[in-house]
Amino acid sequence: MSIQQNNFTIKIEHATKLSDLVAYLVNSNYQRVENVSYFGQFKVLGDRVVVYPVNLPNLIYVDFYGSMVESIITDKVESQLIHEIEIAPNIIDDDGLRFEPGQYVVHLDHGVGLFKTLGMRETDSFVDKTQEIGKQQAKKQVNPWQPFLIIEYANGAELFVPPSQAGKLTHYIGKHNPSLSLLGSKRWELTRKKVQESIFKIARELLAIAAKRQINHRAAYNINSEWMSVISTEFLFDETDDQQHAIDDCLADLRKNQPMDRLICGDVGFGKTEVAIRAAAAVLSCGKQVAILAPTTILAQQHYATLKQRFANLPVKIGLLSRFVENKVQENTIEELVNGTVDLVVGTHSLLQSDVTFKDLGMVIIDEEQRFGVKHKEHFKKLRYDVDVLTLSATPIPRTLFAGLSGLRDISLISTPPKNRVSVITTVGKTDDQAIASAIKTERERGGQAFVLHNDVASIEARARVLRELMPEFNISVAHGQMPEKQLASVMSKTISGEVDVLLTSTIIENGLDIPNVNTLIVEKADHFGLSDLYQLRGRIGRSVKQAYAYFFYDKELTQMAKERFAALQDYEQLGSGYQIALKDLEIRGGGNVLGKEQHGNMEAIGLSLYTKMLKLISEQIREGKK
């Protein structure tokens, strides 16, 4: 639980700067707002700071005159003047999330409850003091009112949690509207023990893989610096600090004499592919082969096109294995992998077939591992013992899960967006063909392209006819997963080359597709999608320095849940909001996807936050030999 330990003391006519108080409030997790109405909020009005301390029952007005505190007033009717106050830090959880009324929380000892409010109660310590030193003196020295987090449980029972025990509380992230635990029941304790056993098992499994890797040895890579210079020069952007750290982590791994197993985890469009390209270049520069696995044909095609462009000035032959490629060409590629003519191959799960072998495979790069099946994952585990493995995941994970996994897996976290990127402006509204046409025309006027997502294959061609009649001057093409391979490949190739003005598509564009010239996205019947899905779709645009626009349209009257989803999308327009979006969605994809679907039920049982906290603790115990 993140909480600053020291209180901030303010006295009338004592030297205290307004800026020092504001800095304390910000660093102590207070929220700066326009209207202060709840514990843990503050605002600044000229020389006055209005603050609602978490440890006091009233709003406080602190007036400054230069570097001196001129007055301290409460919001009581009598506007009582106070000589001295102490402001305590606000309470948030380990991932920087505030406890707000109406949120589900988990108490380590009592289970799932509903946070009602931060209330004030008169404590027993005040009574004890009055007995010791007399009532009048006690009033001067002891504040009898103390804050408590009030948590509601099953059958209306309430639990009062003092801030000193707030470390036992975490946000519940999992099922929508979970059942409240019954205070005094042993069911919660049994659930927690069962999940703990599961966490211990997966932690030991990850540790075993790491230990086996340490036993296995290979020659350290003597990376060709000229190759690395060529490939980095071809990159059109400046690397972010996180991106550079991830690249450095990969190169450091390759210079060791043990196989690499590193996870690159970062939000949509934060540059994970570039890290993979640099790692691949390092391995290829030493004469080894590299295989890149993608979960979808479209993503494999995208990677293939990108790699062909990036390695154009280096002696690297690149192959593609997917349903877009003719059988004869695939057979030839497989032969060239065996004899070493093909250096770098991109493919879907077909790459894992028994007839695909390599002359000298050095590295496997797995994009979005969680999207592959169980059998494929077993294959990946075996790979990790023998070759260097780099895994990419767009799934945002909380800091606690990152800390827990860091002891057992090598992880690089990319949490900052590429430089000069701007947030996507998001608009929500009822379906309006004229508005759709206007948005597309505006995009074309600045030389850009647009995606229109129509996720109904049965009616997508009819929709295409309507859009073509509406905008006859534009080249509108259709793409969906049920199209013949050659036709779909042709459409995607023309879209990437800029020949297609508008791509009317199903959700096949959701994962990994990167076309920087597409900066307008229109999603029809957007209320049929989950929040995380909409966030992923929005991540397909805004991948250049241009301003991008996302339009989410709906036909019918919105449900309350749909309204909340759209509100969250507009609230979290800023880059890097994936984790907050996932929390709002309440069907978190984060940790469950990083660890595998088999762990999702365990996370739902106790909530993602507590799960990750327990993983971190158990990881530390394993490392220290206590488990």
How many structural domains does the chain have? 4
Residue 127 shares a structural domain with residue 81? no
Quickly list DSSP for 343-375. Answer: -EEEESGGGGSTT---SSEEEEEEESGGGS-HH
Residue 510 shares a structural domain with residue 407? no
Tell me which of 475 and 66 has the higher pLDDT.
Answer: 475
State residue 354's pLDDT score. Answer: 80
Which of 288-292, 368-372, 502-506 has the lowest average pLDDT?
368-372
Q: How confident is the model at residue 434 (pLDDT cuts 50, 70, 90)?
A: very high
Sign of CA dihedral 322, 503, 310, 421: negative
Domain around 345 = 202-414
Structure tokens at 613: 């906290």
The β-bridge partners of 87 are: 8
Residue 121 shares a structural domain with residue 170? yes
CB 491 within 8 A of CB 476: no
Cα→Cα distances 472→445, 453, 495, Å: 15, 19, 18
Judge whether residue 49 has pLDDT over 80. yes
Residue 342 shares a structural domain with residue 228? yes
Tens of pLDDT, residues 178-230 = 899 999 899 999 999 999 988 888 888 777 777 777 778 889 999 999 999 99
What whole-number distance in Å separates Cα of residue 135 and Cα of residue 140? 9
Tell me which of 532 and 404 has the higher pLDDT.
Answer: 532
| Type of residue numbered 235 | F
State residue 135's pLDDT score. Answer: 41
Residue 118 shares a structural domain with residue 250? no
Residue 598 lies in a domain: no
Structure tokens at 113: 């409850």
Judge whether residue 6 has pLDDT over 80. no
Give the mean model confidence (pLDDT) for residues 527-555: 85
Residue 579 lies in a domain: no
Residue 362 lies in a domain: yes
Residue 275 shares a structural domain with residue 315? yes
The CATH number for 141's domain is: 2.40.10.170
* Other Cβ atoms within 10 Å of 426 Cβ, number: 19
DSSP H or E segment with residue 61: strand 60-65
Tens of pLDDT, residues 308-328 = 999 999 999 999 998 888 889
Residue 326 lies in a domain: yes
Q: What is the pTM of this model?
A: 0.67
Q: What share of the chain is helix, strand, coil (3-state, %, to 5)?
A: 40, 20, 35
Residue 483 shares a structural domain with residue 405? no
Contacts of 315 (CB under 8 A, 6+ apart): none
Give the mean model confidence (pLDDT) for residues 439-453: 95
Residue 493 lies in a domain: yes
Residue 449 lies in a domain: yes
* Other Cβ atoms within 10 Å of 487 Cβ, number: 12
Residue 512 shares a structural domain with residue 459? yes
The CATH number for 485's domain is: 3.40.50.300
Residue 433 shares a structural domain with residue 551? yes
Judge whether residue 4 has pLDDT over 50. no
> Which of these three, 552, 574, 596, is where a domain ends?
574
Residue 450 shares a structural domain with residue 481? yes
Tens of pLDDT, residues 232-285 = 998 878 898 999 999 999 999 999 998 888 888 887 778 899 999 999 999 999
Residue 495 shares a structural domain with residue 398? no
Which of 17-21, 144-148, 581-585 has the lowest average pLDDT?
581-585
Residue 187 lies in a domain: no
CB 104 within 8 A of CB 171: yes
Give CA torsion, residues 581, 591, 558, 572, to 10 deg: 0
The CATH number for 46's domain is: 3.30.2060.10
Residue 134 shares a structural domain with residue 243? no
